[in-house]
């Protein structure tokens, strides 16, 4: 079973949104498992301290290597990747999510304060993963986002197997626009081709729209798409 083990100083936050909808139903059905460990349980002083002042001075506090090291060591030794949610990491991509979802699960360490003592990152071989180029107050929301993205790809979690196949990023492009009834809303009609019943025309329209949106909104993805799927031949 795919297993997420989360280390946090705010264990009560979990499962949070992971307990609702697709991921919540899959959790209840035993498709995946979630363990949440309170890092504070591994502190040894009477204040249960998990942080201390930064060596060299400066603002904020740093999560202690000894406490975090013990917390990580208490997680069952298996071959799951150990991830540290961190703005310094490589940004999470759908390709990485797919790889994680295909594996046994993940151990996720949620940082707080100014971050984590560098020695524990190296000694416990934590792979830093970022949710994006902005700073959150803690790793918990990032861990939830990563888990959610993985869980929805697990077999049986999403309704139709095709649901993820055409999604944004999977084929290197953003997804085409969606419409549903009513046919006319505030004077705006659903594009005629989508109600034509011509599946070839619909597929061609969706493909063209996905390309147009990607080109307009994400020139970085479009350039990568051209390199990967078109041998770099199209530049328009």
Ligand X SMILES: C[S@@+](CC[C@H](N)C(=O)[O-])C[C@H]1O[C@@H](n2cnc3c(N)ncnc32)[C@H](O)[C@@H]1O
> Which residues contribute to the site for ligand X (CB under 6 A)?
85-88, 110-112, 114-116, 130-132, 134-139, 142
Beta carbon of residue 89, minimum distance to ligand X (angstroms, whole number): 7
On whether the CB atoms of residues 101 and 39 are closer than 8 A, the answer is no
**34 or 62, CB closer to ligand X?**
62
Residue nearest to ligand X (CB): 111
On whether the CB atoms of residues 33 and 5 are closer than 8 A, the answer is no
On whether the CB atoms of residues 138 and 13 are closer than 8 A, the answer is no
Beta carbon of residue 143, minimum distance to ligand X (angstroms, whole number): 8
Considering only CA atoms, which of 3, 4, 5, 10 is closest in space to residue 139?
A: 10
**52 or 166, CB closer to ligand X?**
52
Q: How far apart are CA 187 and CA 16, in angstroms?
A: 40
**139 or 172, CB closer to ligand X?**
139
Long-range CB contact pairs, 19-27, < 8 A, 24+: 22/151, 22/152, 22/157, 22/158, 23/147, 23/148, 23/151, 23/152, 23/157, 26/151, 26/154, 26/156, 26/157, 27/151
Beta carbon of residue 77, minimum distance to ligand X (angstroms, whole number): 23
**6 or 210, CB closer to ligand X?**
6
Beta carbon of residue 123, minimum distance to ligand X (angstroms, whole number): 17
**113 or 169, CB closer to ligand X?**
113
Beta carbon of residue 231, minimum distance to ligand X (angstroms, whole number): 34
């Amino acid at each position: 079973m795919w297993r997420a083990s989360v280390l946090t100083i705010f264990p009560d936050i979990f499962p949070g949104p992971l307990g609702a909808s697709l991921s919540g139903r899959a959790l209840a059905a035993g498709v995946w498992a979630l363990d949440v460990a309170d890092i504070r349980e591994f502190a040894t002083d009477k204040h249960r301290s998990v942080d201390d002042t930064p060596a060299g001075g400066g603002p904020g506090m740093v999560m202690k290597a000894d406490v975090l090291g013990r917390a990580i060591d208490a997680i069952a030794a298996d071959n799951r990747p150990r991830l540290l949610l961190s703005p310094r990491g490589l940004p999470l991509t759908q390709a990485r999510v797919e790889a994680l979802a295909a594996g046994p699960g993940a151990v996720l360490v949620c940082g707080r304060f100014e971050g984590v003592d560098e020695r524990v990152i190296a000694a416990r071989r934590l792979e830093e993963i970022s949710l994006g180029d902005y700073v959150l107050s803690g790793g918990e929301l990032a861990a939830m986002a990563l888990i959610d993205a993985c869980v929805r790809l697990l077999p049986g979690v999403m309704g139709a197997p095709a649901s993820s196949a055409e999604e944004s990023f999977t084929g290197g492009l953003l997804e085409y626009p969606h419409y549903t009834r009513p046919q006319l809303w505030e004077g705006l009609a659903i594009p005629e081709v989508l109600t034509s019943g011509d599946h070839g025309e619909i597929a061609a329209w969706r493909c063209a729209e996905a390309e147009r949106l990607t080109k307009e909104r994400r020139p970085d993805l479009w350039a990568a798409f051209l390199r990967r799927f078109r041998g770099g031949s199209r530049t328009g």
